[in-house]
């Protein structure tokens, strides 16, 4: 079925005869596979007598061989799936049998996860979904500022494919034109005081265009910002390269060496914000981050630092 989809991904018309010949199957078999594509993957396919079949909109599927080569250069194994519940969940499952580092990616997710228990909308072959599993010797102190460093790597990868109006938002988001384009989710496994493992999940809205009712905040995608279809393989390759670069800098130099770069790209630097943790809310002006990646706020009680996975930050005038 996916072999047929790769033939159709250009968005052009293809006759049933030509598709059948390319796949070595009958026209009726092509028709059945087209129905499955619509039913299983939710793809809209135009069927025009005398012209053939085409996707309502072109897509960009991952080139696994190119991605495999890039991961090998980085010293990572690659596990690539057509569809999966969650790349983070799969990476966590694989830790019992496969030694990190390894990257898990998929064309689509049925149960993608975001921060604070939220769902991550994951339509087939439209966005980038990947999770990198790493081993940390010496305990979780090596996590200091890690999610912020990953944000920088994603920022650079998106700039590499042509996005300019983009920046980071503490702690784990990237915004383009003021709208969310990327989320980052870190999950730990093992002993935080000794040998532990971290799974770095990255979701990038790449070619999604339709309004997703499940998303409860303003969002955008690379395609919406650029006006053209983004080659997901090219973006994935840049992400692998940038992650390798920034993770190595973090490993050898620590977050302090990247702190200034992160603050220079923080969209809400110097802005008045509201920091929420459950029912508690703190107002203040963003001063930056400390050497561990905690948010520094100038509040009515003076300068305060905040960190933690359940915190949410928004601009004061949006509250």
Share of the chain above pLDDT 70, in %: 94
Q: Does the annotation flag 109 for ligand binding?
A: yes
CB 139 within 8 A of CB 258: no
Structure confidence at residue 113 as a pLDDT band (50, 70, 90): low
Q: What is the pLDDT of residue 91?
A: 96
Answer yes or no: is pLDDT of 212 > 80: no
Q: What is the mean pLDDT of residues 261-269?
A: 96
Answer yes or no: is pLDDT of 176 > 70: yes
What is the rounded distance in angstroms from the CA atom of residue 233 to the CA atom of residue 121?
20
Q: Are residues 98 and 44 in the same domain?
A: no
Q: Are residues 105 and 29 in the same domain?
A: no
Please state which of the ranges 31-35, 68-72, 135-139, 254-258 shows the lowest mean pLDDT: 135-139
What is the rounded distance in angstroms from the CA atom of residue 28 to the CA atom of residue 30?
5
Q: Are residues 111 and 224 in the same domain?
A: yes
The parent domain of residue 26 ranges over: 2-55
Q: What is the mean pLDDT of residues 183-204?
A: 90
Q: Does the annotation flag 88 for ligand binding?
A: yes
Rounded to an integer, what is the distance from CA 14 to the centroid of its chain? 32
Q: What is the pLDDT of residue 214?
A: 58
Q: What is the mean pLDDT of residues 32-51?
A: 88
Q: What is the pLDDT of residue 84?
A: 93
Q: Does the annotation flag 252 for ligand binding?
A: no
Q: Are residues 82 and 15 in the same domain?
A: no
Task: Give the closest residue to 182 by CA, choosing from 195, 199, 166.
Answer: 166
Q: Does the annotation flag 114 for ligand binding?
A: yes
- CB-neighbour burial class of residue 252 (10 A; exposed 0-12, middle 13-18, buried 19+): exposed
Structure confidence at residue 37 as a pLDDT band (50, 70, 90): confident
DSSP 264-300: HTBTTTT-EEEEEETTEEEEEEEEEE-TTSPEEEEET
Q: Are residues 222 and 162 in the same domain?
A: yes
Answer yes or no: is pLDDT of 43 > 90: no
Q: Are residues 33 and 104 in the same domain?
A: no
Q: What is the pLDDT of residue 72?
A: 97
Share of the chain above pLDDT 90, in %: 70
CATH of the domain at 71: 3.30.930.10
Q: What is the mean pLDDT of residues 125-150?
A: 89
| Number of structural domains in the chain | 3
CATH of the domain at 282: 2.30.30.100
CA dihedral over 177, 179, 180, 181, signed as positive or negative: negative
Q: Are residues 155 and 201 in the same domain?
A: yes
- CB-neighbour burial class of residue 190 (10 A; exposed 0-12, middle 13-18, buried 19+): middle
Q: What is the mean pLDDT of residues 119-127?
A: 79
- The chain-wide mean pLDDT, for the chain, equals 90
Decide which of 220 and 121 is more confident.
Answer: 220
Answer yes or no: is pLDDT of 186 > 80: yes
What is the rounded distance in angstroms from the CA atom of residue 209 to the CA atom of residue 219?
10
Q: Are residues 252 and 169 in the same domain?
A: yes
Q: Are residues 186 and 226 in the same domain?
A: yes
Q: Are residues 284 and 231 in the same domain?
A: no
For residue 160 the two structure tokens come to 């590499």
Answer yes or no: is pLDDT of 318 > 80: no
pLDDT tens digit string along 9-29? 998 999 999 999 999 999 889
Q: Are residues 187 and 313 in the same domain?
A: no
Residue 79, H or E segment = strand 77-84
Task: Give the closest residue to 131 by CA, choosing from 164, 161, 95.
Answer: 95
What CA–CA distances, in Å, run from 36 to 14, 23, 39, 85, 209? 17, 16, 5, 19, 22
| Domain closes at, from 218, 242, 263 | 263
What is the rounded distance in angstroms from the CA atom of residue 217 to the CA atom of residue 315?
13
Answer yes or no: is pLDDT of 114 > 60: no
Q: What is the mean pLDDT of residues 213-218?
A: 67
Q: How many CB atoms within 10 Å of residue 106?
A: 25
Answer yes or no: is pLDDT of 41 > 90: no
Q: What is the pLDDT of residue 194?
A: 81
Q: Does the annotation flag 127 for ligand binding?
A: no
Answer yes or no: is pLDDT of 210 > 80: no
| Domain closes at, from 217, 238, 263 | 263
What phi and psi values does residue 119 have, to the nearest 5 degrees? Answer: -80, 150
What is the rounded distance in angstroms from the CA atom of residue 318 to the CA atom of residue 244?
36
Q: Are residues 42 and 82 in the same domain?
A: no
CATH of the domain at 10: 1.10.10.10
Q: Does the annotation flag 232 for ligand binding?
A: no
Task: Give the closest residue to 131 by CA, choosing from 149, 113, 117.
Answer: 113
Q: What is the mean pLDDT of residues 295-302?
A: 94
């Amino acid at each position: 079925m996916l072999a047929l989809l790769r033939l159709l991904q250009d968005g052009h018309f293809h006759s049933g005869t030509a598709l059948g010949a390319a796949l070595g199957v009958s026209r009726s078999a092509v028709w059945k596979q087209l129905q499955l594509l619509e039913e299983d993957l939710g793809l809209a396919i135009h069927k025009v007598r005398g012209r053939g079949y085409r996707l309502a909109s072109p897509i960009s599927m991952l080139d696994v061989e190119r991605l495999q080569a890039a991961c090998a250069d980085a010293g990572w194994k690659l596990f690539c799936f057509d569809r999966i519940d969650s790349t983070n969940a799969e990476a966590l499952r694989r830790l019992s049998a496969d030694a990190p580092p390894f990257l898990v990616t998929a064309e689509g997710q049925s149960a993608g996860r975001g921060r604070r228990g939220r769902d991550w909308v994951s339509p087939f072959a439209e966005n980038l979904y990947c999770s990198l599993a790493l081993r940390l010797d010496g305990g979780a102190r090596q996590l200091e500022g890690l999610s912020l460093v990953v944000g920088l790597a994603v920022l650079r990868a998106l700039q590499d494919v042509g996005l300019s109006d983009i920046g980071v938002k503490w702690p784990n988001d990237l915004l383009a034109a003021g709208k969310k384009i990327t989320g980052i989710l870190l999950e730990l496994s093992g002993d935080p005081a000794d040998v532990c493992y971290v799974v770095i999940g990255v979701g990038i809205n790449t070619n999604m265009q339709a309004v997703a009712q499940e998303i409860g905040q303003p969002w955008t995608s690379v395609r919406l910002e650029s006006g053209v279809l983004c080659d997901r393989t090219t973006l994935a390759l840049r992400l692998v390269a940038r992650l390798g670069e920034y993770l190595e800098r973090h490993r050898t130099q620590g977050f302090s060496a990247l702190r200034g770069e992160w603050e220079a790209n923080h969209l809400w630097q110097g802005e008045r914000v509201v920091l929420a943790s459950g029912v508690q809310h703190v107002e203040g002006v963003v001063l930056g981050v400390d050497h561990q990646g905690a948010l520094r706020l100038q509040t009515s009680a003076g300068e305060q630092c905040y960190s933690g996975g359940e915190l949410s930050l928004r601009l004061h005038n949006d509250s």
